[in-house]
Each structure stands twice: as C-alpha cells, then as structure tokens.
Chain A
Amino acid sequence: MTKIFSNIRLLLVTSLAALSCAAHAQLSIEITGTGATRFPVAIPVFENEAALPRGITDVVRADLERSGLFSLIDMGLVSVPVTAMPDLAAIRGRGADAVLSGSLYPQADGRYDVRFRLFDTQKQVELGALALRMAPAQNRATAHRIADFVYEKLTGQPGYFATRIAYVVKSGPRYELQVADADGMNAQTALASREPIISPAWAPDGQRLAYVSFEAKKPVVYVHTLATGQRQVVANFKGSNSAPAWAPDGQRLAVVLTKDGQSQLYVLSADGTGVRRLASSPGIDTEPAWSPDGQWIYFTSDRGGSPQIYRISSAGGGAERVSFDGSYNVTPRLSADGRHLAFITRNSGRFQVAVMDLATRQTTILTDSARDESPSFAPNSRMILYASESGGRGILAAVSTDGRVKQRLSVQAADVREPSWGPLIR
C-alpha cells in the first residue's frame, strides 16, 4: 500500500468513524461461542425511536447478543411504550423471560429524554426503570448505557458495554495505536508511527494511555492524554524503558528499566519523577501488574531459572512465587474484583490464556490456540480480551472467565495486537 493511499485511508477512517462504522480499518467482532444457558430477553423498538437519524435498540440488542449470555426474542416492529403496562403473559408466550419497554420524548433543545423499564415476565414484576437525556448523535453511547442497565439487572454484574478498548494495528510498515468502543465502533487513532508501539495501559481515569514507543529507535515510555493528543515522556533512561502499569490511584506507574543492568522493576510518578527501585533479582523482572487494592505488584521473573509469576508488596520487600505449573508463565493481569489472575502459559509449546482463582489457586486454561498474548480483563471482571493469531494474521479475541463465551475481533488486511480494556466510566 502506498503512503498516499494509506493517508487517504486514515483520513477516511477519522472522518467517517463518527458517521458510520463502515470504514476499512474498523474492528469487526464475531461471536464464536456462547454461554451455557442464554437468558431470553425482548428489546423491542422504543416508541418514537424512528424520529432519530440512527437507532438505539438495535445497538442494545447487538451488545446483549455479543455478550454471549442472552438470546434476543424478536418482537418485529411492535414497540412497548414506557407509559403502558406491557402484556407480560403474551411476551412470555413469545419466549422472553424479560422485556424492556421504552419511549423517547423530544425536548425543546433538540435532545430527547429516553425512559425505559425492565420487566420479569415470569414473576410479572418491574426490575428497574431509568431515564437518560441524549442528543441524537449520542445514540450509541446511550444504547451502551441501556445495555449495561439490562445486563446488570439480569446478571447481577455491572455491564461493560460503555467502555473503550485500546490496541495496536500494524499495516505494512505502519503502526497505529487506536482506541475504539468495546463493540469495535468509532475507532480513532491516538498515535501513528513507522516504528512499533507496544504495551498500551489505560490510566484508571480512562483519560490517558501509557505505552511504549520505539520511534527513538529504543523503547521509551510515554503518557498520552487522549482528548488533547498531548503526551509526555515519563521514562527514557539509558537502556530500555517499558511495561508501564498504572497504580490504582492513577498517580504512579510501575515500569521496567535496564538503566542499572538487567530488566528490573521501578515505580515512578505519572509525570516521570521520583524513580524508586522496587525489587532486585539476579534475573529478568518484568510485566508488573498492580492488584486493584494497590497492595501488591504481580510480575514475571526468571530469577528461578524459567519465567514464572511472582508478587511483591508495592512497598517493596521479598517476592513470593505465584505460578507453579509448567516452565513458562508470563504476563500476569488482575481482575478488577481482585478474584482472578489471568496470564499466558506455555502448554506443550503453545502459548495459551490461563486464569487462576486467587482464593483456591486453581488454574484453568481457557484457550486452545497457539500464539496467545497480552490478556486484559474487562472492567466487570467477566471477560478477558487477548491477542491471538488466525490465518497468519494478528487478531484479538475475547473469552469469558468461565471459558464458554468466545469472540473474535479483527481488522481487515492488518495485524491487530496488544489490546487493553479501559475502565468503567462512572
């Protein structure tokens, strides 16, 4: 692809992304596995939804379908206004165990009030109701919040549809750090470069990304504010600087530096000041990951002869080993609820995603592929996003922590890698 064509393509992506999601560089998602039992739910078109240039309930249905936990009962063109009590028995007769009624009310300023109620058709009770105010251009963001509402009411867990993901796309000699909605839409480029970009990491406030860029012909850690495009070098010491991991307070980063010899762990402030060595070992220490309570830093180390997962108090001290099965366990990542550790294990020569229940220390291998990397939990702790390979191309995939729900995310004619799932936006 010539540079001119790729520039035109980038321009198309950034200008069309807001209008439609049909650009070539879009991340497309397909479901390849569903939950053991899928909860049947009806999401009919909202009353007055046709007045919007782009719809809401189709996005809600797609979010719930893609989670692998719901089956969507078709209601045709019938809408259930929020002011009426739905005929729950009839809706139950169509096979739905829950139904969402909803209406849009236009306001004087051109925005809409969106009111909706969720009912259990078996118990014949209302499970909850909410109202949101939206501008027509916010149809997708509003739909994701509605899907989160339905997901939370029916599963007891917070939804993750109103979140963003970051990942790197390599297309020929060109690398782009992109940020998209969790459904793959609205992809935007934060950084374009002719040199690699790895290890993107979301700040807890969802506003900044730390990452490693090789544009200076060596690895350097940056912190990048997405809304403004402003960025700052936070680690460019002699040697290599990499593996940024945010502390839960958003004020500090753990990083890996080689300025004093081999790759070792350090902690510094998010502006790059106050570097303090965290641990010393005779081998390689890398891939730090903070526990959600900020007490522990899990990391990869080959101090014992082969790469395994260890943890150390974030205040420093002795490290304890966490992984014991097999000879290659790397890339530890903690779920936000603190209950699970995801990592990559080499199993008969194949690199696969594993998850450990931290209470029982039981480990399960979740994938059956060969080149998995870079696991990242959804902020509701239920799904793990990771990089994999298919058909000779880099793709992203997602698997639920119980291994049942599977998704595949790919970009046409490009390699996608290095995913990172952003936080819940409160």
Chain B
Amino acid sequence: MKKLALPALLSVLLAACGSTGTFDPAGTKVEERSSGAPDSGVTTITAPSPAGSGIAALTDPNNILSKRSVFFDFDQFVIKPDARPLVEAHARFLAQNPQMKMLIQGNTDERGSREYNLALGQKRADAVRQALTLLGTKESQIESVSLGEEKPRCTQSDETCFAQNRRGDMLYTGEF
C-alpha cells in the first residue's frame, strides 16, 4: 500500500463509467504541487451498458427509482413509514440487477462536531442499508458510508434546511 492512491482511484473511476455518461476528468483533481503536477491526462471511455432491463429507470423522473433520498427526523435513525415504498422499490431493483452496486451516503445538519456528525450520518446510512437487507438485499451489493455535515444540500441555518440535510442518499454504480 505504498504507492499513491491516485492510479488506483483513477482505475476505479474509469471502471465505474457506465451508461450514465462520461467521466469528467476535471471532476477530481487530487493533488497539486508547486513544482508542477505530473501529467495526469485521462482518456474518457464509456463502458458498454449492462444487459438487463430498467437501468434507464434510475434516472427517469417518472420512476420512483430516480428518487434516492430518505429523510430523518432530528436525533432519529429510523426509516419513516412514508419512505417504505421508496426503499422497497430499490430493494427490488437491486435483486433484479445483481451486477449493480449501491453506495449509501448518510448526511447530517451542520450543528456540532464534524467527526461526531460523521458518526451520526453513518447511523442514517446504516438504517437505509439495514432496511434493504431486511428486504433481501445482499450485503455484498451495498456499502454504507457517511458524509457527515460536509456536503449539505443547503446552507441556511433554519429548520427547513436542517431537515433537508438529515438524510441518506442512494447512489448506483457509475455515480460514485
């Protein structure tokens, strides 16, 4: 594990390129040094679309699968009843598309310590993961992680915004 993570990261990102589109080489600039960064030219390739139905459903606004966020009440880490149909739909999709992987990212509002919020966000991501596994999803298909307070959807210091940020997001292969 002594080499830079950059080559490994680039190969993971390239391998993850799916039918969702091109990889933005400017999207992740990892390091810069004042002596001049080494040439990190990246050629974009588009992997062939996975076989099987329903991948377009993931981004079809008329399809429940394009909704990816589960919201939580303050200091709560349980899936609310109104989120059940969404979680069930994604569990069915994962079962029908075993080649697809999901990354669940948990988030928090901004109040308090960043690392403690990272841990709280993890509880939200875990709640979504557990709900999926109870519906039959394989552990090997999903990973739950936390972004804590670091990637908020909004930045106002009011309850409406705090509520928007107390959530778990479900990302599919090609989106992470």
Q: Could you give, for residues 159-201 of chain A, a 1 whenever the CB lies within 8 Å of some chain B CB and a 0 otherwise?
A: 0000000000000000000000000000011011111101100
CB A305 to nearest CB in B, in angstroms, measures 11
Q: Compute how far the CA of A215 lies from the CA of B27 in the bound complex, rounded to whole angstroms.
A: 10
Kindly state whether residue A238 has any CB partner on chain B within 8 Å.
yes
Instruction: Point out the residue from B12, B103, B112 that lies within 8 Å of A346, measured CB to CB.
Output: B112
A176 closest partner in B (C-beta): B32
Contacting residues, chain B, for A199 (C-beta < 8 A): 114-115
Contacting residues, chain A, for B145 (C-beta < 8 A): 217-219, 239-240, 258
How many pairs of A and B residues are in contact by the CB < 8 Å rule? 138
B146/A194 in contact, CB under 8 A: no
A286/B126 in contact, CB under 8 A: no
Instruction: Point out the residue from B26, B32, B146 that lies within 8 Å of A3, measured CB to CB.
Output: B26
A331/B115 in contact, CB under 8 A: yes
Contacting residues, chain A, for B31 (C-beta < 8 A): 191-192, 229, 231
CB B1 to nearest CB in A, in angstroms, measures 5
Kindly state whether residue B176 has any CB partner on chain A within 8 Å.
yes
With A218-B103, A239-B145, A262-B123 known to touch, is A194 a contact of B151 (CB < 8 Å)? no
Contacting residues, chain A, for B3 (C-beta < 8 A): 232
Contacting residues, chain B, for A263 (C-beta < 8 A): 118-119, 122
Q: Could you give, for residues 1-44 of chain B, a 1 whenever the CB lies within 8 Å of some chain A CB and a 0 otherwise?
A: 11111000100100000000000001111111110000000000
Kindly state whether residue B150 has any CB partner on chain A within 8 Å.
yes
CB B17 to nearest CB in A, in angstroms, measures 14
B30/A193 in contact, CB under 8 A: yes
CB B69 to nearest CB in A, in angstroms, measures 16
CB B52 to nearest CB in A, in angstroms, measures 24
Kindly state whether residue A287 has any CB partner on chain B within 8 Å.
yes
Q: Could you give, for residues 150-162 of chain B, a 1 whenever the CB lies within 8 Å of some chain A CB and a 0 otherwise?
A: 1100000000000
Instruction: Point out the residue from A229, A231, A238, A374 that lies within 8 Å of B114, measured CB to CB.
Output: A374
Residues 134-179 of A contacting B (Cβ, < 8 Å): none
With A15-B34, A262-B119 known to touch, is A217 a contact of B5 (CB < 8 Å)? no
Contacting residues, chain A, for B28 (C-beta < 8 A): 193-195, 215
Q: Could you give, for residues 105-127 of chain B, a 1 whenever the CB lies within 8 Å of some chain A CB and a 0 otherwise?
A: 10000011111101110110010
A242/B118 in contact, CB under 8 A: yes
Kindly state whether residue A418 has any CB partner on chain B within 8 Å.
yes
B5/A287 in contact, CB under 8 A: no
Q: Could you give, for residues 339-373 of chain A, a 1 whenever the CB lies within 8 Å of some chain B CB and a 0 otherwise?
A: 00000101000010000000000000000000001
Residues 210-244 of A contacting B (Cβ, < 8 Å): 214-220, 222, 229-234, 238-240, 242-243
A231/B150 in contact, CB under 8 A: no
Kindly state whether residue B143 has any CB partner on chain A within 8 Å.
yes
Kindly state whether residue A112 has any CB partner on chain B within 8 Å.
no
B116/A239 in contact, CB under 8 A: no
Contacting residues, chain B, for A214 (C-beta < 8 A): 147, 150-151
With A272-B1, A330-B113 known to touch, is A239 a contact of B119 (CB < 8 Å)? no
Kindly state whether residue B164 has any CB partner on chain A within 8 Å.
no
CB B88 to nearest CB in A, in angstroms, measures 24
Contacting residues, chain B, for A239 (C-beta < 8 A): 122, 143-145
Q: Compute how far the CA of A86 lies from the CA of B154 in the bound complex, rounded to whole angstroms.
A: 63
A287/B116 in contact, CB under 8 A: yes
Kindly state whether residue B131 has any CB partner on chain A within 8 Å.
no
In addition to A198-B115, A256-B118, 8 A-B residue pairs with Cβ atoms within 8 Å of each other are A191-B30, A229-B33, A240-B118, A240-B119, A240-B146, A263-B119, A286-B118, A374-B113
B residues engaging A (CB < 8 A)? 1-5, 9, 12, 26-34, 103, 105, 111-116, 118-120, 122-123, 126, 143-148, 150-151, 171, 176
Closest 9 CB pairs of A and B: A263-B119, A218-B145, A14-B34, A196-B150, A284-B119, A330-B113, A217-B176, A192-B32, A240-B146
